[in-house]
Amino acid sequence: MRKKRRSIVVEGRNDSRVDAQAVQDAVDYYDEVILRGTFNFGSSMVQISKSVVIGGEGRENDIPTTTIYKQGWRFPFTEFDSIFKVDGEGADVTIENIHFTDFNHTCIWGIQCNSLNVKNNRITLMTGYGRGESFGAFGDAVIGIFVWGPELGIFKGEVTVEGNYIDLARGGAFGGFLTRGGLEDDPEYRLDLFNHEYYMGFGVAVHRSSKTVSIENNVIRNANARGIATTCNLPSADVRIRNNTILSDVYGSYPFSSPEAGAGILAQSAWGFPSPGFNVDIEGNIIRLDKLNHCGIIVLGPVTDREGAGKLSGGVIRKNRIHLKNGYEGIHVRKCDDFEVTDNTISGEAYYGIRISGRSKSGRLDLRALNNVVEGNDMRDLRVRDPNEYSNNHADGRMFAESPGGSATAYVWLNVNTNGNIIKVSSNETVIDQGEDNTIRYG
């Protein structure tokens, strides 16, 4: 006989003394929790340790009418924090149709469960300043939806992030970035992240997952570090990043001292852990980044050469539409093999439309970029930026291609550590090929 589903409706009182506890009691004892009204969680978080569906009641103009926010935390801080923390072995958890309007560090944080479904929510901040977990010299990290297994462990459940709207700087010029009298338009300028002059914003971040990860049909705005990032997943993981819209008109944060100001989508095999690589499918996304030195899509091999680290291989970057203003590069495949980069549209302005790069062997790892295929990409509306003082200052073969006069830019650049790649471009598209045994076909 099927067990009857137990449900409860919880009314928000907009009172930090009772709201978080009322929701905590509901998720502890009921299978379905329906939230109604406005909830003030103060500095508390709700921990979810069993199967439950948490949903907001009502929607107007496609915006959930149930709202939750936090207030009263101390800054800076160095501990993980969230509104909902999902940590229940074997639990099936759904969080849907809620408008989260303020939080510190992370809005929804998944640590362990059997399945995590985050659907049709709205996560917005007026600004990300003063909200991030302080991460040493890297700065303050602000994350909309974060999946990261227990300490040094694996997230063993299925992950679905679908239909959410995330904006980490809805205040625009007044809240998304504090102007520095025009310094921000200097491509050499970097804010002091260590001293909280800026923050690193991530829309969705998935780390150390082991099963299917589906990130689809979300709208992500003003994530100044990464719109979507997925790193260090296991070989059993199948990561699908499809049909998302990623937009930003705030300046990038140059996260982790990276050469690009920010990226719409980033996938990396091994960053903090020696992970061996995973399958990733990046398809049908729309990316528009309006400030300088951004990159549309990046896939990266390992940072570390420790035992157990490996490359991304056999992935797909297909049918994405990328538009950059004063951009760095449209698509970058670095230290990865056998990727298909096909049928993408890249427009606007960038130093490079598509880059394939690697580095020399490191210990047992061959970190060259091998056997990737680039074809069918539409770059008719891309203007390749001319070399300038900034590119000439960084013409080191890694940030920018070297030329006798300084730097060189092109529609496609393959650096010296590339081998066996196949590139098919239009007859008027320039290619810099510094690698070995690459095939360049014009037509």
Neighbours of 410 (CB within 10 A): 19
Give residue 307's pLDDT: 76
> pLDDT band at residue 296, thresholds of 50, 70 and 90?
very high
> pLDDT band at residue 173, thresholds of 50, 70 and 90?
low
Give residue 174's pLDDT: 60
Is the pLDDT score of 54 beyond 80?
A: yes
Identify any residues that bridge with 96 across adjacent strands, giving them in sequence order: 55, 119
Identify any residues that bridge with 236 across adjacent strands, giving them in sequence order: none
Q: How large is the average pLDDT for residues 147-171?
A: 91
Cis peptide before 259 (omega within 30 of 0): no
Question: Distance (Å, rounded) from C-alpha 186 to C-alpha 179?
Answer: 12
322 phi/psi in degrees, rounded to 5 = -120, 130
Identify any residues that bridge with 241 across adjacent strands, giving them in sequence order: 215, 282
**CA distances, 384 to each of 38, 381, 387, 443 (Å):** 49, 10, 9, 19
Q: How large is the average pLDDT for residues 359-376?
A: 89
Q: Residue 205: which of 123, 247, 286, 144 has the closest Cα? A: 144
Give residue 4's pLDDT: 67
Of the two residues 131 and 280, the one the predictor is more confident about is 280
Sign, CA dihedral 174-250-399-390, equals: negative
Give residue 172's pLDDT: 65
Give residue 339's pLDDT: 98
Give residue 77's pLDDT: 87
Classify 46 as helix, strand or coil.
strand
Q: What is the largest CA-CA distance in the chain?
A: 79
Question: Distance (Å, rounded) from C-alpha 110 to C-alpha 64?
Answer: 22
The string of pLDDT tens digits covering residues 193-216 is 999 999 999 999 999 999 999 999
Identify any residues that bridge with 207 across adjacent strands, giving them in sequence order: 148, 231
Compute the mean pLDDT over every residue in the chain, rounded to the nearest whole number. 94
Sign, CA dihedral 118-123-129-130, equals: negative
Q: Which letter does DSSP use for residue 155 in this model?
A: B
Question: Distance (Å, rounded) from C-alpha 310 to C-alpha 372?
Answer: 16
Contact of 291 with 323, CB cutoff 8 Å? no
**What does DSSP say about strands 46-48 and 422-425: parallel, antiparallel, or unpaired?**
unpaired
Token look-up 């303020």 returns: 102
**CA distances, 363 to each of 74, 254, 299, 303, 304 (Å):** 45, 29, 22, 13, 10
Is the pLDDT score of 346 beyond 50?
A: yes
The string of pLDDT tens digits covering residues 18-51 is 999 999 999 999 999 999 999 999 999 999 999 9
Q: Is the CATH code 2.30.30 the one for domain 7-178+187-442?
A: no
Q: Which run of H or E residues covers position 29? A: helix 19-29
Give residue 299's pLDDT: 98
Give Cα 206 distance to the centre of its chain.
8
Is the pLDDT score of 289 beyond 90?
A: yes
Angle made by CA atoms 33, 34, 35, in degrees to the nearest 5? 115
Q: How large is the average pLDDT for residues 341-354?
A: 98
Is the pLDDT score of 71 beyond 50?
A: yes
> pLDDT band at residue 179, thresholds of 50, 70 and 90?
confident
